[in-house]
Amino acid sequence: MHDHAHPHGHGAGAIRGGRALAAALVLTAAYTAVEAVGGILTGSLALLADAGHMLSDNVSLALALFAAWLAARPPTAQKTFGYRRAEILAALANGVTLVAISIWVFVEAGRRLSDPPDVLGGWMLAIAIVGLAVNLAAGGVLLRSRRESLNVDAAFRHVVADALGSFGVIAAAAAVLATGWTRADPIAGLVIGLLVLASAWTILRDATRILLEAAPEGVDPGDVGRRLAQVGGVVDVHDLHIWTITSGFPALSAHVLVEPGADCHRIRLELERLLREDFGLGHTTIQVDHAGARSGLEVSRLR
């Protein structure tokens, strides 16, 4: 006898964080244009470099928005989970972009330390303050949605990196204005690069865990298996797999053997309730068989 857990809904629903991503994209794209024009008019390499940084983040936000839309498309016969993993792929791409940005910052900072350029500190400070305000506004828009999706979280980290860049430019501009020490700019860039690299590591780690179908963070498969085996009537639990389809969507499958004559349907419902209430695992597929009973496909010779 085989009892399977009822499939739980995983329809497309609304685009997770779509409005927040769109609003953040509009804000940051508008400021990127302002910063680029300001850099050209003032001759500030720092502002032009930060505009390039912002431009890469605009591309990342646009990619995240597209991935969120793609993930909301309904499942098909061939793609039974739809395109939910598109969010994770976008997050991975964002993480790689952050690494590239940090490397560029390190190279540029090294060049400026050896040959610091002239900087118009006043204009640099004014534009950086406006940039900080824009990034704080964009970060505030994304803050509520970042816990719902790794994709939105990756976009949020890009905005945070931009805000840190604005802080660095402000600090460097203040130092130039106060002391004339132009090397303050590349030193601030090195600090920002390290912070950006740390942010990239977190995103790459989380995205890789999901793509490798590791158990969700905070869920111990051994503990889950032991709890399932302790349910009355259960004899054995094996072929236990716990993974994450996309951020916020963990899944479990298992084969459970129960005592001969036990009520498979009742035990399966009890196992589902335990997984849902104690471990937050709502999407489960549990095959329940009586111990000693034959299971699987049997092929016999025709007589």
Tell me, letter by letter, the H, E, C secondary structure of 217-235: CCCCHHHHHHHHHCCCCEE
Average pLDDT over every residue of 130-135:
89
| In contact, 94 and 209? CB cutoff 8 Å | no
pLDDT at position 255 is: 95
Pick the last residue of a domain from 161, 184, 211: 211
**Which DSSP category does 3 fall into?**
B
Query: At which residue do the structure tokens 């646009």 appear?
Result: 62
Statement to judge: residues 65 and 181 lie in one domain: yes
Six token digits for residue 158: 């890009």
pLDDT of residue 222 exceeding 70, the answer is yes
Statement to judge: residues 189 and 236 lie in one domain: no
Statement to judge: residues 83 and 193 lie in one domain: yes
Does residue 2 fall inside a structural domain? no
Statement to judge: residues 179 and 92 lie in one domain: yes
Confidence of residue 162 (pLDDT cuts 50, 70, 90): confident
Confidence of residue 215 (pLDDT cuts 50, 70, 90): very high
Does residue 162 fall inside a structural domain? yes
pLDDT of residue 103 exceeding 60, the answer is yes
CA 17-22-23 angle, 5° bins = 100
Question: Pick the residue with more confidence: 172 or 64?
Answer: 172
Query: In sequence order, which residues have a C-beta less than 8 Å from that of residue 114 and are 6 or more positions away?
Result: none
Is the pTM higher than 0.85? The answer reads no
CA distance 50 to 162: 8
Does residue 163 fall inside a structural domain? yes
Pick the last residue of a domain from 191, 211, 231: 211
Nearest CA-CA partner of 190 in 212, 171, 211: 171
CA distance 84 to 78: 14
CA distance 268 to 288: 7
CA 200 to chain centre: 10
Average pLDDT over the chain, rounded to whole?
81
Residue 220's φ and ψ, nearest 5 degrees, are: -100, 110
Statement to judge: residues 72 and 198 lie in one domain: yes
Domain that holds residue 283: 221-290
Question: Where residue 168 sits, what CATH number does that domain have?
Answer: 1.20.1510.10
Does residue 144 fall inside a structural domain? yes
Question: Where residue 283 sits, what CATH number does that domain have?
Answer: 3.30.300.30
Query: In sequence order, which residues have a C-beta less than 8 Å from that of residue 22 and are 6 or more positions away?
Result: 65
pLDDT at position 13 is: 37
Statement to judge: residues 265 and 206 lie in one domain: no
What pLDDT digit, counting tens, does each position of 172-208 carry? 888 888 888 878 878 877 877 787 788 788 889 988 9
pLDDT at position 228 is: 95
pLDDT at position 280 is: 92
Of 2-6, 68-72, 118-122, 249-253, the range with the highest mean pLDDT is: 249-253
Radius of gyration of the chain (CA): 26
Does residue 149 fall inside a structural domain? yes
pLDDT at position 232 is: 93
In this predicted structure, which of 79-93, 172-186, 284-298 has the lowest mean pLDDT? 284-298
CA distance 165 to 169: 6
Statement to judge: residues 124 and 186 lie in one domain: yes
Confidence of residue 15 (pLDDT cuts 50, 70, 90): low
| In contact, 206 and 214? CB cutoff 8 Å | no
pLDDT of residue 284 exceeding 90, the answer is yes
Confidence of residue 17 (pLDDT cuts 50, 70, 90): low
Statement to judge: residues 162 and 265 lie in one domain: no
Helix%, strand%, coil% for the chain, nearest 5: 60, 10, 30
Question: Pick the residue with more confidence: 177 or 41?
Answer: 177
pLDDT of residue 297 exceeding 60, the answer is no
Statement to judge: residues 149 and 275 lie in one domain: no
Statement to judge: residues 206 and 268 lie in one domain: no
**Structural domain tally of the chain?**
2
Confidence of residue 82 (pLDDT cuts 50, 70, 90): confident
Does residue 286 fall inside a structural domain? yes
Statement to judge: residues 271 and 194 lie in one domain: no
Pick the last residue of a domain from 155, 189, 211: 211
Question: Pick the residue with more confidence: 182 or 126?
Answer: 126
What pLDDT digit, counting tens, does each position of 225-281 carry? 999 999 999 999 999 999 998 877 899 999 999 999 899 999 999 999 999 999 999
pLDDT at position 220 is: 94
pLDDT of residue 302 exceeding 50, the answer is no
Does residue 9 fall inside a structural domain? no
pLDDT at position 182 is: 78
Does residue 5 fall inside a structural domain? no
201-231: burial string, b at 16+ Cβ within 10 Å, e else: eebbebbebbeeeebbeebebeebbebbeeb
Statement to judge: residues 283 and 147 lie in one domain: no
pLDDT at position 181 is: 84
CA 241 to chain centre: 22
